[in-house]
């Protein structure tokens, strides 16, 4: 089956920074392939563009420049955050506040984002909210391991389901033995 919009696609791949000889950023192997609903807007558009029309068993290799990947680093995405927002019951969690740690945060509009701690002083925590791969060119090499029709539920939810519930949701608190998706749909 050919990769087209609204198909469920499974891939294995190696992602390298900059070129086919750059440092390995991620390896996705057959035991746990990347499986997604093609054309749903959940992945980089140029990434999907390079996969369009491929079939199960076909190999791929391509690069994305930073503009087509996660964009350039944005200077105003590096901000000082008051240290007191990291307090819980009047104390700062010193284990969380370590240079290099990625900390889940929420912006003023309630959107989740991750910030990398760059510096810590008595008053502020300097954080970088750029995507970790911002400014980097990417190189993908892999293979299409499966292409199948999406179920009606997958199409209505906009993502892959495994069995009777959501395999892309971290919270399966709605699972009561009868299935059920906690993705909010």
Domain ranges of the chain: 7-70+135-150, 75-128
Enter the CATH code of domain 75-128: 2.40.10.330
pLDDT score of 53: 98
pLDDT bin (cut points 50, 70, 90) of residue 69 is: very high
Residue 175 has pLDDT above 50, yes or no: no
Confirm whether 7-70+135-150 and 75-128 share one CATH topology: no
Q: CA 21, 99, 23 angle in degrees (round to 5)?
A: 5
pLDDT tens, residue by residue, 33-54: 999 999 999 999 999 999 999 9
Instruction: Please list, in sequence order, all residues whose beta carbon lies within 8 angstroms of the beta carbon of residue 29, skipping any fewer than 6 positions away.
Output: 12
Over residues 70-79, mean pLDDT: 95
Tokens describing residue 102: 């990625």
List of E strands, the chain: 7-17, 24-28, 34-37, 59-64, 78-82, 87-88, 91-92, 102-106, 112-120, 124-128, 138-149, 161-162, 165-166
Of 138, 140, 139, 157, residue with least CA distance to 8: 157
Residue 22 has pLDDT above 90, yes or no: yes
pTM, rounded to two decimals: 0.77
Q: What is the percent of the chain where pLDDT is above 90?
A: 75
DSSP code of residue 150: P
Residue 154 has pLDDT above 50, yes or no: yes
Residue 168 has pLDDT above 70, yes or no: no
CATH for the 7-70+135-150 domain, from 3.10.50.40, 3.20.20.10, 3.30.43.10, 3.90.1720.10:
3.10.50.40
Taking the C-alpha atoms of residue 125 and residue 17, their distance in angstroms, rounded to an integer, is: 28
Token pair 């910030």 is found at: 115
pLDDT tens, residue by residue, 91-113: 888 888 999 999 999 888 888 99
Lowest mean pLDDT among 57-61, 62-66, 131-135, 169-173: 169-173
The DSSP bridge pattern shows strands 161-162 and 138-149 to be unpaired
Token pair 């939810």 is found at: 157
């Amino acid at each position: 089956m050919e990769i087209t919009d609204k198909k469920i696609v499974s891939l294995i791949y190696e992602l390298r920074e900059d070129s086919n000889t750059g440092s390995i950023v991620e390896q996705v192997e057959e035991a746990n392939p990347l499986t997604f609903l093609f054309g749903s807007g959940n992945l980089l558009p140029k990434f999907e563009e390079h996969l369009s029309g491929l079939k199960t068993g076909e190999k791929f290799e391509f690069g994305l420049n930073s503009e087509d990947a996660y964009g350039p680093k944005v200077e105003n995405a590096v901000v000082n955050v008051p240290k007191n927002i990291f307090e819980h019951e009047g104390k700062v969690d010193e284990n969380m506040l370590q240079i290099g740690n990625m900390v889940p945060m929420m912006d003023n509009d309630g959107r989740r984002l991750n910030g990398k701690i760059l510096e810590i002083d008595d008053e502020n925590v300097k954080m970088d909210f750029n995507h970790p791969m911002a400014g980097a060119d990417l190189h993908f090499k892999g293979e299409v391991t499966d292409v199948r029709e999406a179920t009606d539920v997958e199409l209505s939810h906009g993502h892959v389901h495994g069995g009777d519930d959501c395999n892309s949701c971290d919270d399966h608190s709605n699972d009561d033995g009868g299935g059920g998706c906690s993705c909010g749909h």
